[in-house]
Structure 1
Amino acid sequence: MDKRLLTCVSLCKGRVIADIGTDHGYLPCYMAAEGLCDKAYACDVAEKPLESAAAHIAENGLESKVTPILSCGLEKVPNDGLTDIVIAGMGGELIVRILEDCRWLTSAEPAINLVLQPMTKWDTLRQWLYSNGFEVTAENPCISGRFVYSVMQAVYTGKTPDYPCDLRYLFCGRVKADDDDGREYLQRQAVRLEACAKGKQASGDDDTAGEMQALSKTIREECE
């Protein structure tokens, strides 16, 4: 288990989890073996990864706790008693499609805890969550190898969150510069902002370019 997946585990709250895009099933097997959940679903859209997950489950004697499910997103996942959904290691646009296609997600009682870790298009995911009644209650960055990831914890409230959906939120989410992981994540986002600002400037959008450059400078100062 790498730090990225352990960060996802740390944001799970309940006892019945579904890991979407489980690959080898490391996360649900770890949680079951460590007593962090009572039941887990290891879900994948492809048969080969699911076979690997099933083998990993059997090797660890976890058949009674972890169930492999061939499913496109959440389509075949039982929602009775489900407390947590983990979707990690995918692009933000794909995560959005999976959430959009789940008909019961916004009517679940109590609300399901979402743990989301986008590899790309984090701004698309943050915008969609904000616009569709999901509040990001926590966002934990983590350095894993050469990469820095952000893991979001979100819950459906049906209301517009009380934080602004501005440029900073879209690029940096709710990450703060209060530890090495947070500072590294924010510094890399500052670099991305500078690159985007150059593109905006080249296209004649000087106002947006200026806003991006100013935000990049602010973030860098916070990380000093």
Structure 2
Amino acid sequence: MATRPVRRTSARSLVGLSAQARARWRTMYAQTPYQKLPWFDPGPSRSTRLAVSTGFLPMGGSILDIGCGAGSNVIFLAKHGFVAHGIDISPGAVAAARERASKARVRVDVREGDALALPFADGSLDGAIDHGCFHTLPIRRRAEYATEVRRVLRRDGRFVLTWVAREHTGARGPPHRPSVEEVARALEPKFLFTRTAFQAEREGGGPACYLAFLLRRSTPQPPRM
């Protein structure tokens, strides 16, 4: 699939994550080797594998991993013929992802970026994935995040969202563990649900209850005559 080059956006009135949040994530990667962080998995997420194997993500398309961490999903996408982009708020994560991609001999675009102010032009991407970013955001900003993801996707763009659900009761994990209903409220009507949530098996020693939605960017309905 031919894709347009991704352009940087012009200045917008979006307000990104707080300085406190930025500092917290940067400190985590600065103080701890990425391999020892509780969310690190050397391979792609189950939901990403599913989206690729079923053709949900358009083959050869331009796909963004939001909160890409050390780049496991970005590398997997690049190996499978996608134009792979990744953003993370932590310079340490970006450096790790770039180093791993270089060792894997794949070409990726990984840069520092804010999930609430994505550095991509309107309608410039075929799809996006989020494995573990959504549930770290402040509750009051979930709908704003969904609007921002929708902005960068093309008409009928695809979105794969995976989060730690409220049903996960482990001591470790994100502070905001939304239910299916709460996620749906944040995403509708910006996205159309194409698959129901599923419960994933434990991955990489992490939380045992990941849920995933496979979604399609909605388009405004024409006014009735």
TM-score, structure 1 as length reference: 0.59
Amino acid aligned to 1:27: N
Aligned to 2:75: 29
Q: CA RMSD in A?
A: 2.8
1:143 to 201, 204, 213: 201
Aligned to 2:131: 88
Unaligned runs of 5+ in 2: 1-40, 165-176
Distance of 2:122 and 2:74 partners within structure 1: 16
The answer to whether the Cα contact below 8 Å between 1:88 and 1:118 also exists between their aligned partners in 2 is yes
TM-score, structure 2 as length reference: 0.58
Distance of 1:92 and 1:124 partners within structure 2: 11
Q: 1:3–1:30: structure 2 CA closer, same or farther, 3 Å change rule?
A: closer
Count of matched residue positions in the alignment of Structure 1 and Structure 2: 153
Distance of 1:149 and 1:135 partners within structure 2: 20
Distance of 1:33 and 1:3 partners within structure 2: 12
Q: 1:113–1:47: structure 2 CA closer, same or farther, 3 Å change rule?
A: same
Unaligned runs of 5+ in 1: 161-224
Aligned to 2:26: none
- How does 1:1-224 map onto structure 2 within 5 Å? 5-11=45-51, 12-14=56-58, 15-35=61-81, 37=82, 39-63=83-107, 66-73=108-115, 75-78=118-121, 81-92=124-135, 94=137, 96-102=143-149, 104-105=151-152, 108-119=153-164, 120-122=177-179, 123-130=181-188, 132-139=189-196, 140-145=198-203, 147-158=208-219
The answer to whether the Cα contact below 8 Å between 1:134 and 1:159 also exists between their aligned partners in 2 is no
Distance of 2:122 and 2:87 partners within structure 1: 13
More helix by share: 1
Between the two structures, name the one with larger relative contact order (CA 8 Å, sep ≥ 6).
2
Distance of 1:32 and 1:44 partners within structure 2: 17
Higher alpha-carbon Rg = 1
Amino acid aligned to 1:115: V
